[in-house]
Structure 1
Amino acid sequence: MNLYGRSWTRRELEARVGRMEQIGGVRRFKSTEGKEADVEQIQVRTGAGLCYYVTPSKGLDISLAEYQGAAISWQSPNGDVHPSYYNEAGTGWLRSASGGLLMTCGLMQVGSPNEDEGEQLGVHGRLHHTPAQQVSAVSEWSEDELDMTVSGVVDETSIFGGKLRLSRQICSRLGVNEIIIRDEVRNMGFQRCPHMILYHFNFGFPLLSEETQILFKDTKMEARDADLPLDDIAEWQAPDASYSERVYYHVPQSKPEVEIINPNFPVHSGTAPVHVSLNWSGETLPKLVQWKMPGAGEHALGVEPSNCWVGGRKNEREQGTLVYLEPGETVKYELKLTIR
Structure 2
Amino acid sequence: MKAFSAAAGPKLMLDPGSVLDIGSCWIGGVDLAPGRAIPDDGDPRIDHSLEGFLFTCGPDHIRHPEPIEKHADGKKYPLHGSFSSHPAEIVFWDAQEEGAECRARVPVTMANGGTALLERHWRIDGATGEVSLADKLTNTGTKAFAPVHMYHMNIGAWLFDDHVKLTGRMLGGGGFPWNFGEDPGGVFCVPAKEAGEQWAQVALGPIAAIGGLTLKVKFRTDTLPHLQIWRNQQAPAHVLGIEPVSHRWVSRYELAEKGELHQLKPGRSIDYALRFCFV
Deviations 1:228-271 (A, max 9, x none): xxx9x721359xxx9444110111142411111125334xxxxx
Q: Let me know the Cα RMSD of the aligned residues.
A: 2.8
Task: Determine the structure 1 residue equivalent to 2:177.
Answer: 235
Task: Determine the structure 2 residue equivalent to 1:32.
Answer: none
Structure 2 matches for 1:1-340, cutoff 5 A? 41-48=1-8, 50-76=10-36, 91-92=42-43, 93-117=45-69, 118=71, 119-139=75-95, 146-157=98-109, 161-205=113-157, 207-215=159-167, 217-219=168-170, 234-237=176-179, 243-254=183-194, 255-262=199-206, 264-266=208-210, 272-311=211-250, 313-340=252-279
| 1-structure distance, mates of 2:21, 2:277 | 17
Deviations 1:52-81 (A, max 9, x none): 111010111001101122123322358xxx
* Higher relative contact order (Cα pairs below 8 Å, separated by 6+ residues): 2
SS at match of 2:208: strand
| 2-structure distance, mates of 1:278, 1:332 | 17
Q: 1:158 to 1:284 in 2, by over 3 A?
A: closer
Q: 1:148 to 1:186 in 2, by over 3 A?
A: same
Please tell me whether the aligned partners of residues 193 and 226 of structure 2 are also in contact (alpha carbons under 8 angstroms): no
Please tell me whether the aligned partners of residues 9 and 124 of structure 2 are also in contact (alpha carbons under 8 angstroms): no
SS at match of 1:127: coil
Which residue identity does 1:327 align to in structure 2? P
| 1-structure distance, mates of 2:23, 2:161 | 21
| 1-structure distance, mates of 2:261, 2:12 | 33
What is the count of residue pairs matched by the alignment? 267
Which residue identity does 1:264 align to in structure 2? A
Please tell me whether the aligned partners of residues 307 and 323 of structure 1 are also in contact (alpha carbons under 8 angstroms): no
| 1-structure distance, mates of 2:231, 2:259 | 27
SS at match of 1:289: strand
Aligned-pair identity in percent equals 22
Please tell me whether the aligned partners of residues 118 and 138 of structure 2 are also in contact (alpha carbons under 8 angstroms): yes
Please tell me whether the aligned partners of residues 34 and 156 of structure 2 are also in contact (alpha carbons under 8 angstroms): yes
Which residue identity does 1:219 align to in structure 2? M
Please tell me whether the aligned partners of residues 139 and 269 of structure 2 are also in contact (alpha carbons under 8 angstroms): yes
Please tell me whether the aligned partners of residues 107 and 115 of structure 2 are also in contact (alpha carbons under 8 angstroms): yes
Instruction: Report the more deviating stretch, 281-290 or 188-197.
Output: 188-197
Bigger strand share? 1
What's the offset of the Cα at 1:303?
0.8
| 2-structure distance, mates of 1:335, 1:184 | 12
Instruction: Report the more deviating stretch, 323-332 or 291-300.
Output: 291-300
Please tell me whether the aligned partners of residues 220 and 273 of structure 2 are also in contact (alpha carbons under 8 angstroms): yes
